[in-house]
Amino acid sequence: MSDDRLIVALDVPNALQGLAMAERLGDSVSFYKIGLGMLTGGGLALANELKQDHGKRIFLDMKLFDIGNTVENAVRGLAQFDLDFLTVHGDPHVVRAAKEGAAGKDLKILAVTILTSLNRDDLDASLLKDGDVQDLVVERAARALEAGADGVIASPQEAALIRALPESEGRLIVTPGVRPAGAELGDQKRVATPANAIADGADHVVVGRPIYRADDPKTAVDAILNELS
Ligand code: C5P
């Protein structure tokens, strides 16, 4: 049966393929993440359909970043839909604006710390502050949580450090960058297994390619659920 600690990233090209994958996975998956790739191909309609007709929980991974007023308006619009999680970048002004936009609704605002596909060389290329990536992630997580985020997105390699922050009490830690042992990394650089991520304090793990690119996606899900139980 399903376990909502596993969130499956439906990063397939369009809503039709997303729906076909969700139907193939059936009751074994109860929580889906819909991201930018899909949102440009009917993803919001799919999100609503999976929620309303199939009873799935939905994580909308939009990673919003803009001036506060624009973020607040965007989130207010999205909060009209009955969805569960929404990501914004973890900059405090963005988090505060998103929380304003979601006021009175159940939509949880999750703050992206540093993308799990980035390492120190990538941060240098973007002129981001010197220092160890883990330390920067923890600092960004603390600031986003102080600004009111309901949770943070981080790599499993930082989950334990974030869980140790007093600010993280009662907040969510959601980790992409999760790979079952032996799975291909793709572009992910800061990874761990599903069981390790949960053991280190993650509430949910996000897994995409190891499931939707598997020869048999349902068997891949079952293996992860087994690992988690
Ligand atoms: O295919 P894979 O398991 O790597 O998918 C991970 C998903 O999590 C992707 O949809 C990616 O956009 C998302 N994500 C991430 N790192 C973050 C935030 C979201 O990989 N920091």
Any ligand 1 atom below 6 A from CB of 183: no
- The answer, yes or no, to whether residue 105 has pLDDT greater than 80, is yes
* pLDDT score recorded for residue 109: 98
Percent of the residues in the chain that have a pLDDT greater than 90, as a whole number: 90
Cβ-based neighbours of 217, under 8 Å, separated by 6 or more: 21, 24, 25, 211
| Angstrom distance (rounded) from CA 126 to CA 134 | 17
Closest CA to 106 of 69, 141, 81, 77: 81
Q: Is pTM, for the whole model, over 0.85?
A: yes
- The answer, yes or no, to whether residue 85 has pLDDT greater than 80, is yes
| Angstrom distance (rounded) from CA 83 to CA 85 | 6
Q: What is the mean pLDDT of residues 59-76?
A: 98
Any ligand 1 atom below 6 A from CB of 38: no
Compute the distance from residue 115 Cα to the ligand 1 centre, in Å: 8
Tally: H helices and E strands in the chain: 11, 8
Q: Give the number of the atom of ligand 1 that is nearest the alpha carbon of residue 207.
A: 3
Burial letters 163-184, b for 16+ CB under 10 A, else e: bebebbeebbbbbbbbbbeebe
How many Cα atoms sit within 13 Å of 224 on the Cβ side? 34
**pLDDT per residue as tens digits for the range 128-172:** 999 999 999 999 999 999 999 999 999 999 999 999 999 999 999
**Active site annotation includes 99:** no
Alpha helices (H) in 36-132, listed in sequence order: 36-39, 43-52, 68-78, 92-101, 120-125
| Angstrom distance (rounded) from CA 124 to CA 115 | 14
**pLDDT per residue as tens digits for the range 15-65:** 999 999 999 999 999 999 999 989 988 999 999 999 999 999 999 999 999
* pLDDT score recorded for residue 181: 87
End-to-end CA distance of the chain, in Å? 11
